[in-house]
Structure 1
Amino acid sequence: MPGIGVPSRLSALRSTAARIGTTLDEDTTCAELVREVAGQVGGAAAVLRGGREFRSRYEAVAGNPAVLPDPWSTAAAAQEAAGPRESAVPFPVAGYPGLALCVPLAANGHSYGVLVSARQGTPFTHEETEVLTFLAEHAASHIRHAREHDAVSGIVGKLQRALLSAPGRPHPNLDVAVRYLPVGQSALIGGDWCETVRLHFGRTMLVVGDVMGHGLEAAVDMTAYRSSLRYKQVDPNRSQVTITSAGHLPPVVIDEQGRASLLPIPVGPPLGTGLGGYEPATYRLDPSQTLVLFTDGLVERRGEDIEQSLRRLAGVGFEAASGVEDVLDTVLARLDARHAEDDVAVLAARLHHRSAQAHDTRT
């Protein structure tokens, strides 16, 4: 019956295309493309990278490379065939009449290189040319997505490093350590952060914040709050800490025996609600104690009452006289923070004695 073979050919072509662009890696896409092309028309296939200018060697070669035209001839043909707008119009290579076919890897007016296919003896048919053109366009679209993904990932990575950089330097009379763990293996940035700000007369402001949500939007919101909000003020000269909460869980104080206890503080509404009513609470803090501030991701677990979560934190035993870095290592390990269901930001601070000559009482 006429045309009965058309659906099966289309089905085979769809299956072939589905095996190209299986990842967001450009090299992998090129390798998949040439493997499928060589399987479709025989001979050899390769990619010559470039846009307006081309490299001098083939990449991702499949089949027998001896039948391919030299890359210089291919590059010259590609330069000659290039138009004002990049398109996937096949073109031959001089000296290889009918036995070498080049198709630009072009998508949305941008060229990422050239697909080169060659074989001995049998010229390419019109149908084969159309198949190679379709596969080249399909691969070029995936290459475009891969490059866009790499560009966005690079921007996000730079933003992450900027946002998650170490907090500002506290006064020398205060030891501080911080940790930030984004939720999940693929998360890059979120809305949790820690900050320290030097104030006059040897005081240091400690900040812990948690913006709702994850990803870039939460991170942008976080930067706005990070630059303008202050929560906890430590005054080493008076051995005291003044705390204000905007919806946060209570901080923890660890004594010289390694025992942890929660500091009861008045809880105000989360920032951004338009409601006021923040009441500070002041406590004595001596050099034998460590203050631990944290976001709720450290303790909260799905299906568990928050009071039980806080009791688990208070039950963590610490080595006597542990340093602030050791305190954070212990609490993150005991609470399995690397498998938390939310971002985790935690800060540990401890006063330390300084000689009268060494006191730093000004900014």
Structure 2
Amino acid sequence: MPSADGRDSSCECGFLRGIIEGTSAPVFILDRHLRHIYVNPAWTRVTGVPAADFLGRTLGEVLPNVQTPDDVLIEVLADGQPREVTLTGTTLVPSLVGRRLWRAVFHRLESEGQVVGVCGLGVEVSNLRQYMDDLENAHQRLALLDSAAVRVGTTLDVAATCGELADFLAPSLADVAAVAIVDDELPDTPPTRPGVLRLRKMKLAAPPELRWHLRELAGPHPYVELPRGSLTRRCLDSGRPWRGNMASDELFQKLTVEPDHVRVIRAAGIHSVLIVPLPTTGRSVGVVILMRAGESAPFTDEDLLTAQGVASRAAVSIDSARRYTHEHTMTLELQRALLSEPGCPHPSVEVATRYLPSGRSALVGGDWYDSIALPGRRTLLVMGDVMGHGFQAAVAMSQYRSVLRTVAASGLPVHAMLGEADRRAARIGLDRVATCLLVLVDHEAGTCTAATAGHLPPILVHPDGGTEMLHLPAGPPIGTELGDYEMTTFAFEPGAVLLLYTDGLVEQRGQDIDDSVRGLTEMGLSADGPLEHLLDTLLTRLTSGMCEDDIALLAARRRPPST
């Protein structure tokens, strides 16, 4: 066994030598000055340093890139208590895990009552540490994806969803996050050139200082045009991400298209870029561009996987919001077109209407109203609500409205009108039922006759300020083919106001709807003044500008007999 002073003690510990030199665990002995006096073959294989190069030298002198636990070893020499330490660093032998990790225990060595040094016995745990690091990274990635699922896509609004995505990614994954979506139908913009893909700029999220540097990137237009061959365009076409760490000016030029933008990016201190498409089935709906600047580390493989996971989930939300917005727009336009058709009440009845689409879910439903002049100075008031929401509900609403207009011309009593509408709706195959309230105002008789098909009761506001709910016999919704409706006649004096409405006006979470309807009679409504003002008052008090469901309102006032 070679030592610092050249003595050979192998004859004294041949058996021990065989064990120590045959083990795969590194073993080394240091003198009182922490200089090597022995290393076993395992330690030379681990470090790539010959045994002779260790002798007489400290660990820091032989392996400067390995953490030196000198303070712990001094304590072991002082009190004789064994201690465990962690050695980390790199050696002359390359490792797939980068920085290596050993756990070592050190014991004090004594001879004839004299302290002669310390002995260290280690085991490499680099792979275990790498496994634990990978496990922690995977846990963090899953936690980030779970957080994204909660924070991104909370509405059916495209702009809001893109904003949530950008705000989530910066700063959780990058210093800068920009989101843009494919849009060739921007209003008031020229058509795209052949081969050019137009992206609408949606949101740029970054700290204030970076936003100030990047302000020139916004440009004068709400869109950016990508020619074939551009870096971002290739990512969109292929559906594959691109990563550029410590990117050169040449790479930045391919990314930005505009020559001056490279200068802006460099001035902001940006050094790494990650482009991630927003993928859906068969196409990308947009792209996310992530940037890191200053002292932030370049993007890793884990960052790339995390960004792809977030982008995939966000793309589904954005695509759903776009498709919903398209359907919502068509439905709303259809409903507005139908409701804007001029009603024809008799001149003896003054009518005002309101339609307010829902504000939270942004769903358009099948609410409708109508006023139809009939012979004998009579006016039929209609208020209905098709079950469900969306385009199909609006289509069904238009069919119910047409059926009731046709039935109204037959001269039947209101309960018979509902029965006939119920049968016709069943015959034409409407797959959605509707609640409906018919009120026939007879100016000559000074009465109103009402029948309901599962609809909420009307409210009557008297000229003296008294308000009452008109109780009507319940009947099934139309479209069920159950029929059997009843009608009730009430006095309708000049100056009184009759209020018809859909359930969106009075439905409130946690409150019984019957109590909400009765609450209308306690609001102190006035029959005086413009009917438009009355409707505005109702909407202001009950919705505060926001409603959970569509609201349709109709107010009718009987004019004096001389009219």
Which residue identity lines up with residue 197 of structure 1 in the other structure?
A: I
- Indicate whether 1:110 and 2:283 are aligned: yes
- Offset at residue 7 of structure 1 (A): 0.6
Asked if 1:10 corresponds to 2:138, the answer is: yes
Residues 249 and 296 in structure 1, CA contact (< 8 A), matched pair in contact too: yes
Preserved contact between residue 235 and residue 277 of structure 2 (Cα < 8 Å): no
Structure 2: state its 5+ residue gaps: 1-124, 154-160, 183-195, 219-223, 253-270, 409-437
* 2:232 equivalent to 1:88: no
Contact in 1 for aligned 2:451/2:485 (Cα 8 Å): yes
- Partners of 2:380 and 2:143 lie apart in 1 by 61
Match of 1:138 in 2: 309
- Structure 1 residues 50 and 163: CA distance shift in structure 2, 3 A: closer
Summarize the Cα distance change of 1:135–1:348 in structure 2 as closer, same or farther, 3 Å threshold.
same
Q: TM-score, normalised by structure 2?
A: 0.47
Within 2, Cα distance between the matches of 1:227 and 1:311?
32
Query: Which residue of 450, 455, 475 maps to 1:243?
Result: 450
- One-letter amino acid matched to 1:285: F
What is the aligned counterpart of 1:270 among 454, 471, 477? 477
1:1-363 correspondence runs (5 A): 1=125, 2=127, 3-18=131-146, 20=148, 22-24=151-153, 25-38=161-174, 47=178, 49=180, 53=197, 59-60=204-205, 78-79=230-231, 82=234, 85-90=237-242, 100=272, 102-108=274-280, 109-111=282-284, 112-113=286-287, 115=289, 117=291, 128-141=299-312, 142-160=314-332, 162-163=334-335, 165=339, 168-171=342-345, 172-179=347-354, 185-186=360-361, 188-199=363-374, 203-212=378-387, 221-229=396-404, 231-236=438-443, 239-263=446-470, 265-283=472-490, 285-295=492-502, 306=514, 313-314=520-521, 317-319=524-526, 321-328=528-535, 336=542, 345-353=552-560
Larger Rg: 2
Distance 1:238 1:279 in 2: 20
Question: Aligned partners of 1:300 and 1:37: how far apart in 2?
Answer: 42
Q: In the superposition, relative to structure 1, how do residues 144 and 272 fare at CA in structure 2: closer, same or farther (>3 Å)?
A: closer
Contact 1:78–1:114 (8 Å) recurs in 2: no
**Secondary structure of the corresponding residue to residue 382 of structure 2:** strand
Higher relative contact order (CA 8 A, sep 6+): 1
Unaligned 5+ segments in structure 1 are: 40-44, 357-363
1:171-191 Cα shifts (integer Å, max 9, x gaps):
343211234567784463345
**1:193 counterpart SS class:** strand
Structure 1 residues 157 and 101: CA distance shift in structure 2, 3 A: closer
Query: Per the alignment, in what secondary structure is the counterpart of residue 5 of structure 1?
Result: helix
Q: Residue 4 of structure 1: SS of its match in structure 2? A: helix
- TM-score, normalization: structure 1? 0.68
Q: How far apart are the structure 1 equivalents of 2:173 and 2:548?
A: 45
Identity of aligned pairs, percent?
28
Q: Deviations over 1:142-174 (max 9, x none)?
A: 145224314413532552464364574333432
Question: Quick check: 314-323 or 136-145, which moved more?
Answer: 314-323
Give the count of matched residue pairs.
Answer: 343
CA distance in 2, matches of 1:151, 1:300: 28
- Between the aligned partners of 2:200 and 2:554, the Cα distance in structure 1 is 54
Partners in 1 of 2:273 and 2:369 — Cα distance?
59
Shift of 1:105: 1.9
Counterpart position of 1:361: none
Asked if the contact 2:501/2:551 (under 8 Å) is kept, the reply is: yes
Contact 2:328–2:390 (CA<8 Å) still a contact in 1?
no
